[in-house]
Amino acid sequence: MLIRAVESYLAVRQACGFDLRCVGSFLRSFVRFSKARKKDYVCAATAIEWAGLAPSVRQRARRLGHVIRFARYLHAEDPRHEIPPAVFGSEDWPRSIPYIFSRRDVARLVQAASESGDRTLRRYTYSTLFALLACTGLRVSEAIRLRFEDIIVDGLVIRCSKFRKSRLVPLHDTVRAGLERYLERRRPYAPFDEHVFVSLRRKPLLIEDINAAFRTAADKIGVRRGPGLPRPTPHSLRHTFAVRALEACPHDRERITQHMVALSTYLGHGTVKETYWYLQATPELMRNIAERCEGFVARGRS
């Protein structure tokens, strides 16, 4: 009975656009666990016992969260299904503050990538890739999947990325010019592969190769890390783009809201709250928030 309910639940949520590959494996594991204990309905105690098998509190909360949502779906039609309490706490753990590059360090990183390794296409590939990430805020995975056909007059077409969303990313003239210079060198190198960025193996880039090239360039320019600060990664270039865009945001309240929605759409965020997370990324943004709040309170008292 429960296994049929799982398949029905997954079908409904997938029809709504959710990617549930991991969720499905978790719920099928829970059903097998329940069946071994001869439970035909969702039992809160059984769910907590099953979730408690995970090695960390965070993983336990995540596993139990999947069952809670599943139980709510079933309980709406059959109250014999129990909705477990969230005994392991919230699934939403606070995100760490991202590493943000200075404008000077972004330029130095790109330059270092253009001088690292042998004088081959590799230099142009990674310097262009890092520059593109910094100028557009693309995810690394999105840049890896770019094909020639995705470069159009209006910008870059990002197809079925995270959350199964597609979007158009406009390109500044200088970014387009830099990309075209790279493609002039890259096209003869691997003419039968349609990916924009390719390795020396004439295949699409691998994330581990990108990470290695990034570390080499970052070490070369001596990227500094204070105690307790995050480690810079290629994804830090996306974070940096988002923060600089927020720092340029107009101060008018209505325009701030419009700016946030536009930036969230541009970055391909699932919800706008993911964009608001960047407000805590730099002292400048925190100071701006404090000043706006002080002004708002002062006006309310006058």
Q: Compute the chain's Rg from CA coordinates.
A: 24
297 has pLDDT over 50: no
Q: Tell me what the mean pLDDT of segment 274-298 comes to.
A: 56
* The overall pTM is greater than 0.75: no
pLDDT score, position 268 = 79
d(CA 70, CA 91): 15
Q: 55 pLDDT band (50/70/90 cuts)?
A: very high
Q: 298 pLDDT band (50/70/90 cuts)?
A: low
pLDDT score, position 302 = 46
Render pLDDT for 244-278 as a digit per residue (tens, 0 to 9). Answer: 887 777 665 566 667 777 777 778 776 666 776 66
The overall average pLDDT reported for the chain is 85
Alpha-carbon dihedral of residues 41, 44, 46, 51, nearest 10 degrees? 120
For β-strands 155-158 and 151-152, DSSP reports them as antiparallel
Q: 94 pLDDT band (50/70/90 cuts)?
A: low
Render pLDDT for 154-191 as a digit per residue (tens, 0 to 9). Answer: 999 998 766 567 889 999 999 999 999 999 999 999 88
User: How is residue 277 annotated by DSSP?
Assistant: G
Structure tokens at 156: 């870059």
Q: Please report which residue ranges of the chain form alpha helices under DSSP H.
A: 2-15, 21-36, 44-51, 57-75, 103-114, 121-136, 140-145, 173-189, 207-221, 236-247, 253-267, 273-276, 283-301
237 has pLDDT over 50: yes
Cite the active site residues: 139, 162, 235, 238, 269, 278
Q: How many CB atoms lie within 10 A of CB 2?
A: 20
d(CA 53, CA 134): 41
Render pLDDT for 189-228 as a digit per residue (tens, 0 to 9). Answer: 988 899 999 998 999 999 999 999 999 999 999 987 666 6
d(CA 52, CA 266): 39
Task: Residue count of the chain, please give it.
Answer: 302
| Whether 87 contacts 203, CB under 8 Å | no
pLDDT score, position 220 = 93
pLDDT score, position 278 = 63
d(CA 94, CA 1): 37
